[in-house]
């Protein structure tokens, strides 16, 4: 049964509880239906979607590292048209907050995807993944430069009329500066962090463990970095922040809310335990009992 | 339907210095499990191995509600798993992946090393349909073989060892059973072995199916980490479209 004490909001988005699932770790949701009720989640964020079909990077795309994993999937997906025609009809209505993660390698591509998703009635928000390389600017990530970040958000804002979440990369010198630029450009909320640029080496074979040499680190290993980023950003912007990075249990969720997150996304933990979200939701209710909270949102930004 | 359940270790048996068998009991009855499918086992408290370990299903006993697996100690998580005791519990997701073909008239099953494990359930499936398959097992030396007598109850068993300590001396591809005629070859083992077997099958125009062991994060088609490149569909997930593929479909 729904525990009203867990009801949360991200700006205009109303959530049953503060749990979303992170893009790229939850497929299109249906992969997890044998393990949990999709409608029990605050929402779920589907795979990164681009303007055209992408094959992604060559295998191997995965290496395990202390308390984490490095991935180099490289945005393999069938493109936004395929999503709208074939995936959307299968998933719509499974949760009030199905959110599409929008990626691209040019501003035009981001805008194309955003405007097509804008027409899908039951998708109340997109999450703009600005960690992608800008092919027109020598492959530098949109999200690592405040002007480039602001520009892509400004342009997407023109074509996207619903709730616009912008997802930040931690691989920057000053995340506050990027967050503020993105807020000014029209983001409705921020989600952070995306994966941390990392590398793993096989000492025996004397070779890198993944095909692209470097990849994105996720899992508990990045939680302290993520907490720091969420704390820094949430105290320096006036829009809601969604915390992401290494969340494995309810205690982690509480930590992110204390440093300023209005909601959280669970990523790698879904691989370890496909029903982890159910467990976390139950444990958050316990936490409310133990700490006599009327609502979980009382925790937001206490630190 | 896939399940996530706590299974109890009913029996643990060391098969050779590197491999051990676990018979895992479910309190609820088991769903239908196909030969070639695998389970995803959570090995807790190994800091450098957060993810589940995909392990092929070696045998299923629907009466006892047990699934057996054979695990080779090869790294941190499998070493840790080898320390488990009877009556301990494991968090297991199953059954995952597709199936080996089970309608062949005269199949040859070729296994190498721990890759031989899933061929028992496959051979048993054929045997129960009235077809006694041929199983060819390859190993470096006799110490690496396991459960040969068990395989003999459901199949005609042929063995190749590289040092000639049992069976014919040499690689599986040189075994004389390879000269007989078969409707299909179904193989699981080290990649170089499967490639060599697939090449032979191709030359003789016999269809060949291989079971891949790509690195996996989720095992359920959600992360796209486990892909193999195919000729007709580009990168596809081994965990959902495989682990069994037509050998001539994959680019390797
Ligand atoms: C579908 C499927 C079925 C399987 N069935 C069985 C089975 O029945 N029995 C069984 O014993 N095993 C089976 N495996 C393999 C098993 O899952 C692995 O051996 C196990 O997960 C290894 O875990 P570990 O921590 O012990 O070893 P690890 O330390 O993770 O790795 C073992 C070896 O792999 C190498 N390695 C590590 N990372 C990478 C990488 N990113 N890319 C390439 N190589 C890497 C390491 O150098 C080491 O040599 C199966 C795998 C799959 C995908
Ligand atoms: C396999 C994998 C694929 C991912 N794909 C995407 C993606 O397509 N778009 C995106 O914005 N983030 C992607 N991410 C990042 C996650 O959404 C999340 O930000 C990150 O994993 C940190 O959270 P975690 O530690 O809980 O996993 C991916 C992560 C993983 C592990
Ligand atoms: S392991 Fe995640 S898609 Fe196959």
- pLDDT score, position B92: 98
Best interface-test mutation with B: which of A67, A274, A279 has the largest number of B CBs within 10 A? A274
- Which residue does chain B place closest to A218, by CA atoms? B50
- Which residue does chain A place closest to B215, by CA atoms? A62
| Distance in angstroms (rounded) separating the CA atoms of residues B214 and A243 | 31
Out of A72, A201, A209, mutate this one to test ligand 1's pocket (max ligand atoms within 8 Å of CB): namely A209
Ligand closest to the CA atom of residue A242: 2
- pLDDT score, position B206: 95
Q: Residue A89: which residues within 8 A CB-CB, separation 6 or more?
A: none
Task: Tell whether ligand 1 has an atom less than 6 A from the beta carbon of residue B76.
Answer: yes
DSSP state of A221: G
Pairing verdict, β A68-71 and A62-65 = antiparallel
Q: What is the pLDDT of chain B when averaged over all its residues?
A: 97
| Distance in angstroms (rounded) separating the CA atoms of residues A236 and A259 | 12
- pLDDT score, position A136: 80
Each residue's pLDDT expressed in tens, for chain A with a length of 303 residues: 799 999 999 999 999 999 999 999 999 999 999 999 999 999 999 999 999 999 999 999 999 999 999 999 999 999 999 999 999 999 999 999 999 999 999 999 999 999 999 999 999 999 999 998 877 877 788 999 999 999 999 999 999 999 999 999 999 999 999 999 999 999 999 999 999 999 999 999 999 999 999 999 999 999 999 999 999 999 999 999 999 999 999 999 999 999 999 999 999 999 999 999 999 999 999 999 999 999 999 999 999
Q: Give yes or no: A132 in active site.
A: yes
| A64–B49 C-beta distance less than 8 A | yes
Comparing C-alpha atoms, which of B88, B90, B87, B111 is closest to residue B36?
Answer: B111
Residue among A55, A59, A76 whose CB faces B214 most closely: A59
List beta partners, residue B92: B5, B41
| A25–B223 C-beta distance less than 8 A | yes
B217 CA to centre of ligand 3 in angstroms: 6
DSSP state of A168: P
Quick check: B27 pLDDT over 90? yes
| Distance in angstroms (rounded) separating the CA atoms of residues A78 and A138 | 25
Any alpha helices (H) in chain A, and if so which ranges? 80-82, 88-91, 107-118, 146-159, 175-184, 223-234, 250-258, 269-272, 276-290
pLDDT band at B53 (very low <50, low <70, confident <90, very high): very high
- pLDDT score, position B32: 97
Q: B214-243 pLDDT, tens per residue? A: 999 999 999 999 999 999 999 999 999 999
How many residues belong to chain B?
Answer: 252
**What distance in Å separates residue B133's CA from the closest CA in chain A?**
34
- pLDDT score, position A266: 98
Residue in this structure with the two tokens 């909270």, named with its chain if needed: A293
Task: Tell whether ligand 1 has an atom less than 6 A from the beta carbon of residue B68.
Answer: no
For residue A297, give both structure tokens: 């949102």
A60 CA to centre of ligand 3 in angstroms: 12
Structural domains of chain B in order of their starting residue, each with its CATH number: 3-96 (2.40.30.10), 107-211 (3.40.50.80), 212-252 (2.10.240.10)
Q: Residue B152: which residues within 8 A CB-CB, separation 6 or more?
A: none
What beta strand segments (E) does chain A contain?
A: 8-10, 13-15, 19-21, 44-49, 62-65, 68-71, 98-102, 125-129, 133-134, 140-141, 163-167, 189-192, 196-199, 201-202, 207-208, 214-218, 241-244, 263-266
| Distance in angstroms (rounded) separating the CA atoms of residues B101 and B98 | 9
Q: How far is CA A69 from CA A31, A192, A215, A244, in A?
A: 20, 18, 9, 15
- pLDDT score, position A1: 75
| A25–B50 C-beta distance less than 8 A | no
The angle subtended at Cα B245 by Cα A91 and Cα B118, nearest 5°, is: 105
| Distance in angstroms (rounded) separating the CA atoms of residues B66 and B94 | 12
- pLDDT score, position A140: 81
Report the SS3 class of residue A52.
Answer: coil
Those of residues 81-100 in B touching chain A at CB distance below 8 A are 91, 93
pTM: 0.97
- pLDDT score, position B145: 95
ipTM, interface predicted TM-score of the complex:
0.96
Out of B56, B117, B120, B221, mutate this one to test ligand 1's pocket (max ligand atoms within 8 Å of CB): namely B56
DSSP state of A213: S
Task: Tell whether ligand 1 has an atom less than 6 A from the beta carbon of residue B77.
Answer: yes
- pLDDT score, position B4: 98
Q: A22-66 pLDDT, tens per residue? A: 999 999 999 999 999 999 999 999 999 999 999 999 999 999 999
- pLDDT score, position A214: 94
Out of B75, B82, B240, mutate this one to test ligand 1's pocket (max ligand atoms within 8 Å of CB): namely B75
Q: B172-198 pLDDT, tens per residue? A: 999 999 999 999 999 999 999 999 999
| A71–B234 C-beta distance less than 8 A | no
| Distance in angstroms (rounded) separating the CA atoms of residues A125 and A99 | 5
Quick check: B107 pLDDT over 80? yes
């Amino acid at each position: 049964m729904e525990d009203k004490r867990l009801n949360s909001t991200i700006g205009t988005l109303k959530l049953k509880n503060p749990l979303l699932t992170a893009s790229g770790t939850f497929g299109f949701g249906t992969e997890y239906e044998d393990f949990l009720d999709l409608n029990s989640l605050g929402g779920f964020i589907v795979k990164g979607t681009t303007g055209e079909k992408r094959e992604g990077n060559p295998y191997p795309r995965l290496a395990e590292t202390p308390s984490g994993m490095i991935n180099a999937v490289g945005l393999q997906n069938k493109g936004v048209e395929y999503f709208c025609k074939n995936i959307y009809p299968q998933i719509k209505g499974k949760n009030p907050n199905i959110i599409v993660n929008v990626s691209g390698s040019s501003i035009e591509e981001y805008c194309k995807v955003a405007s097509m998703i804008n027409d899908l009635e039951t998708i109340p928000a997109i999450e703009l993944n600005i960690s992608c390389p800008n092919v027109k600017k020598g492959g530098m990530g949109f999200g690592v430069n405040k002007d480039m970040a602001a520009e892509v958000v400004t342009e997407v804002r023109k074509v996207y009329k619903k709730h616009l979440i912008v997802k930040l990369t931690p691989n920057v010198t000053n995340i506050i500066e990027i967050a503020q630029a993105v807020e000014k450009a029209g983001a409705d909320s921020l989600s952070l962090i995306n994966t941390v640029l990392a590398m793993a080496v096989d000492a025996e074979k004397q070779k890198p463990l993944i095909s692209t040499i470097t990849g994105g680190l996720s899992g508990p290993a990045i939680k302290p970095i993520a907490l720091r980023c969420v704390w820094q950003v949430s105290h320096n912007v006036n829009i809601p922040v969604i915390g992401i990075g290494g969340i494995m249990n309810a205690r982690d969720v509480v930590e992110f809310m204390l440093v300023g997150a209005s909601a959280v996304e669970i990523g790698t933990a879904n691989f370890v335990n496909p029903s982890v979200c159910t467990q976390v939701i139950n444990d958050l209710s316990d936490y409310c009992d133990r700490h006599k909270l009327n609502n979980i949102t009382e925790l937001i930004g206490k630190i | 339907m896939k399940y996530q359940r706590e299974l109890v270790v009913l029996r643990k048996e060391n098969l050779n210095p590197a491999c051990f068998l676990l018979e895992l009991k479910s309190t609820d009855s088991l769903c239908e499990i196909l030969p070639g499918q695998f389970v995803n086992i959570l090995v807790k408290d190994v800091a450098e191995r957060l993810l589940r370990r995909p392990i092929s299903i070696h045998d299923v006993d629907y009466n006892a509600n047990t699934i057996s697996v054979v695990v080779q100690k090869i790294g941190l998580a499998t070493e840790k798993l080898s320390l488990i005791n009877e009556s301990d519990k494991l968090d297991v997701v199953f059954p995952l992946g597709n199936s080996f073909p089970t309608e062949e008239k005269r199949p040859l099953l070729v296994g190498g090393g721990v890759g031989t494990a899933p061929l028992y359930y496959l051979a048993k499936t054929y045997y129960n349909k009235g077809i006694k398959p041929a199983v060819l097992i390859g190993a470096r030396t006799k110490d690496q073989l396991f459960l040969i007598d068990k395989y003999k109850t459901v199949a005609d068993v042929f063995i190749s060892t590289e040092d000639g300590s049992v069976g014919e001396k040499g690689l599986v591809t040189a075994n004389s059973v390879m000269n007989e005629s078969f409707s299909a070859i179904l193989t699981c083992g080290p990649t170089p072995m499967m490639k060599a077997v697939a090449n032979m099958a191709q030359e003789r125009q016999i269809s060949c199916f291989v079971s891949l062991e790509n690195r996996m994060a989720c095992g359920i088609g959600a992360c796209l980490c486990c892909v193999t490149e195919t000729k007709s569909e580009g990168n596809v997930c081994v965990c959902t479209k495989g682990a069994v593929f037509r050998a001539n479909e994959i680019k390797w």
